[in-house]
Amino acid sequence: MDGTIAASVGTSSIRSIWAIVRSATMRGAVVRVQSLLVTTQEEAIAMQKNRAVKFIRDDNGGWSYAVYTDGDGDGVLNVDIAKGVDPLVEGPNILADPQSMAIIGIPADGLPDPDGGARLTAETAPVQFNRSTLCSFSPDGSGTPGSIYLRTAGGDAAVVRCSGETGRISVLHLNHWG
């Protein structure tokens, strides 16, 4: 009987440690994404020039980012990036390795849309700024409205959001409902 109790306590301790590690990893990933957006926004305000973060998914499911500045006065646009009109100023840098504990994505069994709409599935694009992966900020601090979803293997989920007109960058820690 004493061996069973010890094994049970040991298993509970391992689960608790795992939950703490998952939580800390999620917090770190959220802070990294939030800081990237806030820094880009602050640079747009300080430079009085549009600046944007482009999120890039690789073939293995990992994510990188690159920062661009408006080169022709019409905002940072994907078409201008492709033409070289809006110059690259940073990156691409790895943002989330697919082997990490916290990755960009939606849990396998989905989660409720925080805006009250339909259920988000694992197939839902985890980076959504309008219909793009480009979050642009103007000199007044406003930004492209959108979200970046993060998850852990244990089902924890969070979303980093840009409100758009106000440029507010916020974080929602989402409970995981199966």
**Residue with the larger pLDDT of the pair 168 and 22:** 168
Question: 173 forms bridges with which residues in the sheet?
Answer: 158
Per-residue pLDDT at 137: 96
The pairing of strands 88-96 and 63-69 is: antiparallel
Asked if 122 and 103 count as a contact pair (C-beta separation under 8 A), the reply is no
Q: pLDDT per residue over 26-79, tens digit each?
A: 787 888 999 999 999 999 999 999 999 999 998 888 899 999 999 999 999 999
Phi then psi dihedrals of residue 127, to 5 deg: -120, 115
Give the Cα separation of 72 and 1 in Å (integer). 75
Helix (H, G, I), strand (E, B) or coil at 125: coil
- Name, in order, each residue with C-beta under 8 angstroms of 97's C-beta and a sequence gap of 6 or more: 62, 103
- Tell me, what amino acid is at 155? G
* DSSP state letters, 55-91: EEE-TTS-EEEEEEE-SSSS---HHHHHHTSS-EEEE
Give the Cα separation of 160 and 26 in Å (integer). 12
Asked if 107 and 81 count as a contact pair (C-beta separation under 8 A), the reply is no
pTM attached to this predicted model: 0.84
Give the Cα separation of 138 and 152 in Å (integer). 32
Per-residue pLDDT at 115: 74
Phi then psi dihedrals of residue 152, to 5 deg: -115, 165
Q: pLDDT per residue over 104-155, tens digit each?
A: 888 888 887 777 777 888 888 899 998 899 999 999 999 999 999 988 877 7
Question: Residue 13: enclosing H or E segment and its boundaries?
Answer: helix 2-47
The pairing of strands 111-112 and 119-120 is: antiparallel
Helix (H, G, I), strand (E, B) or coil at 44: helix
